[in-house]
Amino acid sequence: MRKYAYVDPTSKPNPNYATATAGNTRNDGLVVDKYPGKTATATRNDVKVFRLSEMYFIAAEAEVAAGNLSAAHDLIQKVREARNYQNAAVTPAYTNTQVAYADILKERRVELALEGHRYLDLKRLAVAANVSMDRNATDDVIAVENLENGDYRYTLPIPIKEMSANPNIKQNDGYY
């Protein structure tokens, strides 16, 4: 995450968070202020809808699709340099499209954390990058499940009302 993203001081985390067992962290009140804005202007904060780094990611994906791996590498390097303010940023060499897409997904996950992009990123690029959700059994107190790349559940079913209103619509694969 960028250096400006932080956990708000009003958060009320469990003081034993590091050693808490599953289920004992449910009452934590962690407030993430990725874009805290200005306190003097209550409803006039500048919410970032599109950011320059996202434009670099889009351009990098296009370069990979066009076979220009070095151009994609240079675009991702610019994002890393902008974020990495302590040490020199290093982007691995892109030897093929799978490596390039995997690195772009990784950078999108870090740079766009908590902004709601991950699901669509995986739906769009997971197969080409050969990466998955990377869920961890400790993510929640209930069992978690990884979806295989290309699983039909990445696409939601078409609502019954829509299907009834137009008999020409075919239900998405996996749903009946």
Number of domains in the chain: 2
pLDDT exceeds 90 at position 42: no
> Can you give the three-state secondary structure of the chain, one letter per residue?
CCCCCEECCCCECCCCHHHCCCCCCCCCECCEECCCCCCCCCCCCCCCCCCHHHHHHHHHHHHHHCCCHHHHHHHHHHHHHHHCCCCCCCCCCCCCHHHHHHHHHHHHHHHCCCCCCHHHHHHHHHHHHCCCCCCCHHHCCCCCCCCCCCCHHHCCCCCHHHHHHCCCCCCCCCCC
pLDDT exceeds 70 at position 2: no
Does residue 64 sit in the same domain as residue 124?
yes
| Domain around 20 | 1-35
What is the pLDDT averaged over residues 2-28? Answer: 61
User: Is residue 27 assigned to a domain?
Assistant: yes
User: Is residue 112 assigned to a domain?
Assistant: yes
The pLDDT value recorded for residue 166 is: 94
Does residue 71 sit in the same domain as residue 115?
yes
Name the domain boundary from 110, 131, 152: 131
The pLDDT value recorded for residue 8 is: 66
Does residue 59 sit in the same domain as residue 125?
yes
What is the pLDDT averaged over residues 69-96? Answer: 89
User: Is residue 19 assigned to a domain?
Assistant: yes
Name the domain boundary from 115, 131, 147: 131
User: Is residue 47 assigned to a domain?
Assistant: no
Name the domain boundary from 116, 131, 146: 131
Inter-residue contact 2 to 33 (CB < 8 Å)? no
Does residue 57 sit in the same domain as residue 127?
yes
Beta bridge partners of 6: 33
Does residue 72 sit in the same domain as residue 122?
yes
Of residues 57 and 12, more confidence is placed in 57
What is the pLDDT averaged over residues 146-174? Answer: 88
User: Is residue 155 assigned to a domain?
Assistant: no
Does residue 68 sit in the same domain as residue 15?
no
pLDDT exceeds 90 at position 162: yes
User: Is residue 157 assigned to a domain?
Assistant: no
Residue with structure tokens 């699709």? 65
pLDDT exceeds 80 at position 87: no
Does residue 79 sit in the same domain as residue 127?
yes
Does residue 62 sit in the same domain as residue 24?
no
Q: Which two tokens stand for residue 87?
A: 């040490």
Does residue 5 sit in the same domain as residue 57?
no
Does residue 62 sit in the same domain as residue 92?
yes
